[in-house]
Structure 1
Amino acid sequence: MIPQPPTALPRELLDNEEMQRALATHDFGTVFRLARSHAGISYSKIAAECDIKPIRVGTLARGEGRITSFDKIVEIADALRVPGHMVGLAPRPWETDNSPAHTHSREIGPNVRRRTVLQVATTTGLAAALPALHRSPAPKRVTAGYVDQLRARTARLRRLDDILGGGDTYRVYLSEYQSTKALLRTARTADDTRRRLLSLLAEQAQQAGWAAFDGGRPAEASSLYEESMAAAREAGDSSLLGNAFAFLAYQTADRDQAAEMAARSCATITHGTPAGVRALLHERMAWACAVANRPADTERALTAARTALEEQHGEEQPDWVAWVDQTELDIMTGRCWTELRRPLRAVPVLTKALARYDDAHARDKALYLSWLADAYLTAGEVEEAAAVTGRALDLSIGVASVRPGERLAPVLAQLGQHRELPAVRDVMERAGA
């Protein structure tokens, strides 16, 4: 049997509902507090085993601050013997048949009550309440073919983002990223294969970062994008490096800084950059310029994105840009003109694009409808704005993403000034419900 550290949490504490919620949400202050009160594990022992300053453990236990470093999350999970799936990681190396918490690493055991699973699902998303996805043991020597298999798996899992929000997918994507990161530390690889693996790590970090951003975890998203940038640089992958800059620009609150970051993303474009990647980087540049109220630069970037799309001609594209098509670019065009307060340009293009956009992509369609509603309000078409907002509200129900609500809040605030209209009263009542 593998020796247990002095901070290993007993099985009955891992079955505790409050502990499970705290682990699922990375609320390690509550984890430390419960470890001391329920298992008698002192803060000094936790500090020593987790390599955290004792005063920091105390402040976390009082609810001050958060642990967001992924390496530190791994270190805490190992020190407390928390099965990987409970904190969104792949199974840890010590999760063997003779581990006291073994039942947690393979299935939802009899002690994990259905009520607990549903509570975690409601709080942190469906994926956080379920065990880690099945993954075959990695070989000791990683080949280029094996990396291709991992990339294909990443592409399949990316499709979850089409129908689920980041609150549901974050743990899944983070686990994949952590697994590849561990593989880079432990597996033997040729130099070229290692570069491929680093490129995959950069791609997975971006996917996990996007889910974090969508699920309301901006600090985790920024950290993942930074790690992606480092991996892309080491791999020599300029396309993924540019996309990391574009992701950072998209979530940066400072408008001038976002435009500067987007410009840096476009600066990574070379003659060898795939057309789909160029289209994505240019459309993100257009958005950053629109938010910064630079209409001429916005139009130039949109034209560059459209030209890039037209130049694909059957050229093989990375899977991570497969979603960038004519409809997506039309929607981005409408969003940009909405931000620039040009409703006569925004409404027609958004209306046509959203008419061919499937309701199955509920999160994204709810978001895009919010810009159409915004454009109608700018044009003074209040009843049309109310109707579109109602559709967006219907689509956003049950979606594990913070963004539809954030986007619809200012639209509803503007609509609230017109409560005398029956259409507005109706949508405001639905929003309140």
Structure 2
Amino acid sequence: MQDYIAGRVRAQRVEVFERVADGLRIPGKMFNLAPRPWEAGGVSRSDVTSPSQPENGEAPVLRREFVKLGAGLAAGTFGSSVAGRPSAVSGSRIGLSALAELRANSTRLRSLDDHLGGAETYRLYVAEVQRTAALLKAKSFSGEIRRELLQLFAEQAQQAGWAAFDAGWHEKAARLYDTSYAAARDARNEELAGNALAHQAYQLVSTGKRGVDATNASVAIARATADPAVKSLLYQRAAWTHALAGDARRTGELLGFAENALTLPFAADQGPGWAAWAHTPTELQIMAGRCWTELHKPLRAVPVLENAMTSYADSHARDKALYLSWLSEAYIDAGEVEQAAAVANRALDLSAGIASPRPAQRLDAVIDRFAPYRAAAEVEDLLARRPINPGKVGL
């Protein structure tokens, strides 16, 4: 397996994809395969690691290495057939079958963000953007296919922008979000344009800048759309922007709008994939807990974050490490320093080896808050494990 991970050997046959998928119980759709025999119970990618069986020790690292292998396999077969399966993206004209293939490949690669950092996925996502841009320039298609292709291009640019943001490459992220917004508007997809604005606002506030204007524009789109998942996602991200601006009233209002969206009739296979992931009670709890932590309201933050983390798989190591950092901070605000240190240590365990600077940056800021309590044994151990903050050493 290490030869595949290191790129010294490439998988050329479906059997290889099947063996590695079965080896660590990764659903077949992540490799464009039919569902594996053990998936009969309806296993989804979020269920690969059961919350009732938390990953400890080497298991999270092993799974991340396996998913890196998956990324390498995806890159090796990108734009070509897999095991002799012909590609529909050929010839001079793009039709429905070619569009379906492009979307399936993009969806498969997008799922890698659940397990890998942006520094590992950015190259794959940018390749998708570049490929679709080339098709838009070189191929012929009907007006409706062009619109669908533009929407796909906008989604891919958002995903690549997110990977750049996650890797700390903010200029690249900003350019990709701008590109995505223009493409979404060209495709007359206001919801997708709203998500580009939400991404822009998220990046702005994460780098200490004002993001309220972009957020307010995305909220107007959230109000206008009939799609519950889009409403939920845009309202959640808007709540985050206002929480960082210190506006507790508006934050609570927007979280309420997102909660109301969860009560609306919704079929997961009908909403856009870029929004459906956030349309769950767990994701809303996570966002609410983060917001209330930033607003220093631990009595609201701790219960929802604790509840969400019990069902959040360790295989989503980057995100779980980040979310635990907010839970640790909320415990500090509540005066529960020992519990805060235990949670921070768990976040450090999960963040090891992740190709994203964000967990280290977040945990560095949280650990600063333990300084007044360094006499406690738990805190002394935590301070000794302090990660290197890439932002402080110019990485």
In which range does the TM-score fall when normalised by the shorter chain?
A: 0.7 to 0.9
Contact 1:209-1:222 within 8 A present in 2 as well: yes
Contact 1:255-1:291 within 8 A present in 2 as well: no
The within-5 A match list for 1:246-325 is 246-253=198-205, 257-269=210-222, 271-314=224-267, 316-324=270-278, 325=280
User: Which 10-residue stretch deviates more, 130-139 or 194-203?
Assistant: 130-139
1:152 counterpart residue number? 104
User: Which 10-residue stretch deviates more, 309-318 or 183-192?
Assistant: 309-318
CA distance in 1, matches of 2:194, 2:251: 18
CA distance in 1, matches of 2:108, 2:265: 23
1:177 counterpart residue number? 129
What's the offset of the Cα at 1:318?
0.7
Which structure has the larger Rg?
A: 1
Distance 1:271 1:145, change over 3 A: farther
State yes or no: 1:356 paired with 2:311: yes
What's the offset of the Cα at 1:269?
3.3
- List alignment gaps of at least 5 residues for structure 2: 1-67, 81-88, 389-395
CA distance in 1, matches of 2:238, 2:290: 13
What secondary structure does 2:354 align onto?
coil
2:92 counterpart residue number? 140
> Taking every aligned residue pair, what percent have the same amino acid on both sides?
47
What's the offset of the Cα at 1:256?
7.3
1:84 counterpart residue number? none
What's the offset of the Cα at 1:270?
5.8
What's the offset of the Cα at 1:218?
0.8
The within-5 A match list for 1:188-227 is 188-227=140-179
TM-score (norm 1): 0.68
Contact 2:147-2:187 within 8 A present in 1 as well: yes
1:241 counterpart residue number? 193
Provide Cα deviations, 1:104-153, integer angstroms capped at 9, x if missing partner: xxxxxxxxxxxxxxxxxxxxx99699965431353310113321221121
CA distance in 2, matches of 1:145, 1:432: 48
CA distance in 2, matches of 1:131, 1:145: 21
Contact 1:144-1:196 within 8 A present in 2 as well: no
CA distance in 1, matches of 2:147, 2:211: 29
- List alignment gaps of at least 5 residues for structure 1: 1-124
CA distance in 2, matches of 1:432, 1:217: 20
What secondary structure does 1:139 align onto?
coil
What's the offset of the Cα at 1:223?
0.4
2:323 counterpart residue number? 368
Q: Which structure has more RCO (C-alpha within 8 Å, separation ≥ 6)? A: 2
Distance 1:366 1:268, change over 3 A: same
Contact 2:74-2:109 within 8 A present in 1 as well: no
What secondary structure does 1:313 align onto?
coil
Aligned residues between the structures? 310
2:300 counterpart residue number? 345
CA distance in 2, matches of 1:177, 1:188: 18
Provide Cα deviations, 1:373-430, integer angstroms capped at 9, x if missing partner: 1111112221111111000000000111111011111111111332211001111112
Distance 1:133 1:401, change over 3 A: farther
Contact 2:363-2:387 within 8 A present in 1 as well: no
Contact 2:364-2:387 within 8 A present in 1 as well: no
The root-mean-square deviation of aligned C-alpha atoms, in Å, is 2.2
Code of the residue aligned with 1:376 in structure 2: it is: Y
1:40 counterpart residue number? none
CA distance in 2, matches of 1:267, 1:243: 12
Contact 1:202-1:240 within 8 A present in 2 as well: yes
What's the offset of the Cα at 1:342?
0.3
CA distance in 2, matches of 1:388, 1:351: 10
Contact 2:364-2:386 within 8 A present in 1 as well: no
Code of the residue aligned with 2:79 in structure 1: it is: R
Give the one of 272, 276, 281 matched to 1:326: 281
What secondary structure does 1:140 align onto?
coil
Code of the residue aligned with 1:307 in structure 2: it is: N
State yes or no: 1:229 paired with 2:190: no
Code of the residue aligned with 2:112 in structure 1: it is: L
Contact 2:225-2:231 within 8 A present in 1 as well: no
CA distance in 1, matches of 2:75, 2:194: 34
Moved over 4 A (4+): 125-133
What's the offset of the Cα at 1:257?
2.9
